[in-house]
Amino acid sequence: MNENKEALDRGPFFHGTKAQLAIGDLLEAQNQSNYQDKKSNYIYFTATLDAAKWGAELAATDAKERIYLVEPLGEFENDPNLTDKRFPGNPTRSYRSKSPLMIVAELGAWQRHTDEEINQMLSSLKALREQGKAIILD
């Protein structure tokens, strides 16, 4: 972060995924998105465990759900896909960066959303895709 600016958020920060990573690994932009069939221009992360759980639970593969504690290695911004579209003021504390995130730890366990909640979210996302509204500003 630019030392002359006040920090956007001090964390801790999480990244929910189904990718198996190790402490010290870097998450970088221009890798395959967890949610779309394309490379992402940003790496996404959050300062809330709830949002990280959604990231892990909704990732497109059938691999094990994982939540990592991450450290942003550069500047980051509010995720406009959530803050501008759904949650003004960024209560989900969701961010994105073109700079890498370093894996500093993996959460060993957490309580998942219920299957009903996950299925409801998947249905909502499917409806948005069918309406042409599931656009990620990337």
Q: Give yes or no for residue 2 having a pLDDT over 50.
A: no
> 10 Å Cβ neighbour count for 108?
6
pLDDT value of residue 50: 92
Fold of 13-130: ADP-ribosylation fold (3.20.170)
Quick: pLDDT tens for 53-74. 998 998 877 889 999 999 999 9
pLDDT value of residue 3: 42
Decide: 44 and 55 in contact? Cβ < 8 Å. yes
Give the tokens for residue 90: 């960024």
3-state secondary structure the chain: CCCCCCCCCCCCEEEEECCCCCCCCEECCCCECCCCCCECCCEEEECCHHHHHHHHHHCCCCCCCEEEEEEECCCCEECHHHHCCCCCCCCCCEEEECCCEEEEEECCCCCCCCHHHHHHHHHHHHHHHHCCCCCCCC
Q: Give yes or no for residue 123 having a pLDDT over 80.
A: yes
Domain boundaries along the sequence of the chain: 13-130
Using a pLDDT cut of 70, give the percent of the chain over it: 78
pLDDT value of residue 121: 85
6-15, 50-59, 78-87, 95-104: segment of lowest average pLDDT: 78-87
Give the tokens for residue 82: 């959530």
pTM: 0.79
pLDDT value of residue 30: 76
Between CA 128 and CA 135 the distance in angstroms is 9
pLDDT value of residue 116: 94
Mean predicted lDDT score pLDDT of the chain: 83
Decide: 64 and 18 in contact? Cβ < 8 Å. yes
